[in-house]
Structures are given as structure tokens and as C-alpha cells.
Amino acid sequence: MSLKSKSAVVTGSTSGIGLAIARALAKEGANVLINGFGKPEDIEKERAGIEAEFGVKAIYSGADMTKPDQIAEMIALAETTFGAVDVLVNNAGIQFVSPVESFPTEKWDQIIAINLSSAFHAIHAAVPGMKARGWGRIISTASAHSLVGSPFKSAYVAAKHGIAGLTKSIALELATNGITVNCISPGYVWTPLVESQIPDTMKARNLTREQVINDVLLAAQPTKQFVTVEEVAAVVVFLCSDAAKQMTGANLSVDGGWTAA
């Protein structure tokens, strides 16, 4: 399978899952627009690295996913530079954990904006071009929290359930346009963010590294293993293939069995 001559926009791709998705799509030959925050020199290293390693065009947009106008500009930049946005991956996301009565209103608004509304704005901007070309792949990074709840994560769980609903609705709308719309729901994914929490948790709870991983982080994950960013990216690549053209409106779990329980 090759995505040569295709172009992709991946939001929140300066680190973690999004970066792995951008790299996996570039490996298949797609030009990619990467997006997100970070140190300019680190972002430039990733961007230039993608071009050098995979022989594709890679550009960067610093669009803030809380700003609808910047999201529209990001899609327009990709269309102008590459000639199309064939693959849109809505991946940017943040987390905030707090009891509901002390959950800050601005954090609620920020999570709904980044984790949910940004997907609507990007889809809104990218669909006209996809419809005109009669081909498109829209994939959103949801979460196990699009299927089940957890206490103290009201905004995140609401936003991720919203992504699952948005996916179904847009999939039905675009079903006859050659455009598939799906979301992927990872469980706990091994990212630098997760890894860096382990030493502090070991100290705070007086636990070994293995106890932190199995009894704290992976308590909900039956395989007792983290999902890797590459495993999530591989599902994105599959959804872009012709073999997946009848898969639309789906919510694909990659969660070590979490939501089977």
C-alpha cells in the first residue's frame, strides 16, 4: 500500500501519538503537515527529519487548535502547498484531572475546544476538497474514554465521547463521497509524558517501577502492557488503505482489552 501522491494533515503531531502517525504516513509516501507546540528547533528537527528519511514534503503549522480561524488557515496552507488534503488526522489533545466541583471552567472550555471542537473545524475546512476529489480519509484519535468513563476526567471523557458521535454523524454524511470517517480509541499509550510520571509515582506511593506500571497505570488494561505509538499509527495507515474503504463510522479500540471488561 502506498500513499504516494497523497497529502496528510496531522494535528498535535509535534510529539507522542501524532508524531508517530505523521511519520508512518510519510513512510507510506504521503506529504505531511505537522502541527502542535514545542521548541522551534525540536519541531524543525522532526520536520526536516521526516523529509530526509522518507523523501516527502513536510511542512509545519503552529495553528492553535482552540482557534477556528487558525485551523482553517492550517488546512488552506496544506492545500496550497500540497494541492490537497487527502488525509486528515484529528489528534491534538490535552488532559486535566479534577473533581467536578473544582474543575476550572476555563479548563473545561479548553479541553472541549482542543479535544473536540478542533476536529469539527478541521473537518469543516477539509471536506470541500475531499468531496471535489471523491476521496478522503478522516481519522480522529479518540480514547478508551470515548467508550467508558473515569472519575475526575469529566471534560476529557465528554470530549472523547463527542469525537465518537461526530465520527458516526460525518461518516453517514460522507458515505457516498469516497470519504471514510473513523476514530481510534487507544488505552494507555507509552509516551514520554507517561514515562516521566513513573519515578515520581514510585516515590509518592513507595512502589517499585513494576508496581507503578501494573497496579497504578495499567490497572485497567488486561494485557498489562502499554500500547505503543507505532501500534496506533499502524491502524491509521490501515484505515488509509483501499482494503479499509468499507470501514466508516467505526470506533476502533487499541486498548489491551480495557473496554472489553
Q: Hey, is 187 helix, strand or coil?
A: coil
* Interacting span for ligand NAD (CB under 6 A) from 12-20, 101-109, 166-174, 199-207: 12-20
User: Is 186 one of the binding residues for ligand NAD (CB under 6 A)?
Assistant: yes
Number of Cβ within 10 Å of residue 82's Cβ equals 21
The yes or no reply on residue 197 touching ligand NAD (CB under 6 A) is no
Does position 66 bind ligand NAD by CB under 6 A?
A: yes
Q: How far apart, in whole angstroms, are the C-alpha atoms of residue 207 and residue 135? A: 51
Check residue 86 for interaction with ligand NAD (CB under 6 A): no
Active site residue 156: yes
Closest distance of CB 178 from ligand NAD, Å: 26
Task: Given the residues 60, 156, 188, 226, select the one marked as catalytic.
Answer: 156
Please report whether residue 14 would count as binding ligand NAD according to CB under 6 A: yes
Classify strands 189-190 and 87-90 as parallel, antiparallel or unpaired. unpaired
What is the nearest approach in angstroms of ligand NAD to the Cβ of residue 97?
A: 13
**x/- map, 89-128, ligand NAD, by CB under 6 A:** --xxxx-------------------xx-------------
> Is the Cβ of residue 114 or residue 240 nearer to ligand NAD in the bound state?
114
Residue 46 interacts with ligand NAD (CB under 6 A): yes or no: no
Beta carbon of residue 232, minimum distance to ligand NAD (angstroms, whole number): 8
Find the binder of ligand NAD among 17, 33, 138, 239 (CB under 6 A). 17
Q: Which of 7, 141, 154, 180 binds ligand NAD (CB under 6 A)?
A: 141
> In 3-state terms, the chain is what percent helix, strand and coil (to 5)?
50, 15, 35
64 makes contact with ligand NAD (CB under 6 A): yes
Provide, rounded to whole angstroms, the least separation between the CB of residue 96 and ligand NAD. 11
Interface residue list for ligand NAD (CB under 6 A): 12-18, 35-38, 64-66, 91-94, 114-115, 141, 143, 186, 188-189, 191, 193-194
